[in-house]
Amino acid sequence: MRVKAVVEYHGAAYAGWQAQPDQPTVQVALENAIRIATGEAVRIEGAGRTDSGVHAIGQVAAFDLAEATDLYRLRGRLNGLTAADISIVSLEVVADDFDPRRDARSRTYRYTVVSGRPVAPLIADRSWHVYPELDLALLSRLAERIVGRHDFRAFRSADCEAETTVRTVTRSSWREGDGNGELGVFLYEISANAFLKHMVRVLVGTMVDVALGKIDEAEFARLLDGPGEREEAGRTAPAHGLVLVRIEY
């Protein structure tokens, strides 16, 4: 019985999704909960290996159970066995060959910046506070350049081991507010077939650096035309502002 899970989590207490020696991770927390709930030692596979401190509202994972199980009851037990910063939103039976990572067609991330105002207390642990105020029109213009097929070699971590740095971005945009009327809250969303390590955070950090006058807009365009080098791009935005929103299949 192969089970697909949609998982939501606040990443502050975890060293990312993937299991690591002697560090708390979301993967290990879920595997421990499944073992206690079912008596089975399982390996849960995630669609996106979110970094330390990164959050998710639409992480997708899959695991196998030897026996058929009431998934409604299992979800309740798992949510009772995990900490309050992890929630199993849904469970469903899928085909035996379902692969949450390889079968994914698109991934969407959201980054939150609080700009030109005091810290926003209700989202301070899920946003990057930047001062002075940023030019939203400029950020939007930069975001539009990202759409399409580019070599993102300059926009990845120095230790990224991906064989190719070319990715196709289908959506890249900034907007103000989170729907509740908050002023100075800028949301960036990006969708792509796949991402490089730290790619979204480096793109956000570089766009902010352009808006602050630290990097020229023409230089940003040149790096997208690539291939550029990591040291030519801007800073890596903090992990706590990033959320994995959804994965499409």
Ramachandran area for residue 194 (φ above 0: left; ψ -120 to 50: alpha; else beta):
beta
Q: Which run of H or E residues covers position 207? A: helix 199-211
Task: Tell the burial category of 234 from Cβ atoms under 10 Å away from its Cβ (0-12, 13-18, 19+).
Answer: buried
Report in angstroms the alpha-carbon separations of 110 from 64, 84, 186, 187. Answer: 30, 22, 10, 7
Structural contact between residues 58 and 247, judged by C-beta atoms closer than 8 angstroms: yes
Q: Half-sphere exposure of 246 toward its Cβ, with a 13 Å CA cutoff?
A: 4
**Catalytic residue list:** 51
Q: Mapping DSSP to helix (H, G, I), strand (E, B) and coil, where does residue 234 land?
A: coil
